[in-house]
Amino acid sequence: MRSTFLAGLVLALSFGAARADNTSTVYDFDGSFDDATFSVESAIVGKGLVIDYVSHTGDMLNRTGADVGSTEPLFEAADIFVFCSAVLSRKVMEINPMNIAHCPYGIFVAERQGRVMIGYRNYPEGPMQEVQALLDDIAREAVGE
């Protein structure tokens, strides 16, 4: 699941679109990477949600690039905020327990070639659209919309 998310993230960032191949929704952030991470964290916590983990994906990619034979820098920085909503998770899993495949949820902050972005993975049609709406609300709040 994480590799699918990261592939969607890389695809979305390389195209620079708000939506790329329906894998991710990305918003530009007018400010620094650090300001964007603070804004995302504040928006998540402001919804009464708990951040379970922050994946420092950009650091990992930069650290391991040479180990996998790559010299291509992908991001100046990239973090993924991982969290869940007990209310929404229960709701979508009561409809279909296999919606567990989409949990936990994540919002990323990435800086690439001086562009700071906030985004999330797009979910399938149906009950998971309610989760996507939450992610969109958080991302839009974080970018100041």
User: What pLDDT is recorded for position 3?
Assistant: 43
Assess contact for 61 and 74: CB atoms under 8 A. yes
User: What pLDDT is recorded for position 18?
Assistant: 52
Q: Element (H or E) spanning 20, and its range?
A: strand 19-20
Measured in Å, how far apart are the chain's first and last C-alpha atoms? 29
What is the per-residue pLDDT across 54-104, written as a single tens digit (0 to 9) for each?
999 999 999 999 899 998 889 999 999 999 999 999 999 999 999 999 999
pTM of the model: 0.83
Q: What is the domain count for the chain?
A: 1
Assess contact for 89 and 103: CB atoms under 8 A. yes
What is the per-residue pLDDT across 94-139, written as a single tens digit (0 to 9) for each?
999 999 999 999 999 999 999 999 999 999 999 999 999 999 999 9
* Domain of 80, in residue numbers: 2-143
- Top pLDDT among 72 and 44 is at 44
Please state, in angstroms and rounded to a whole number, the distance separating the CA atoms of residues 57 and 2: 11
CATH number for 37: 3.30.310.70
- For residue 131, give every residue at least 6 positions away whose Cβ sits within 8 Å of its Cβ, in sequence order, or none: 85, 88, 89, 92, 102, 105, 123
Query: Confidence band (pLDDT; 50, 70, 90) for 21?
Result: low
Q: Element (H or E) spanning 10, and its range?
A: helix 2-15
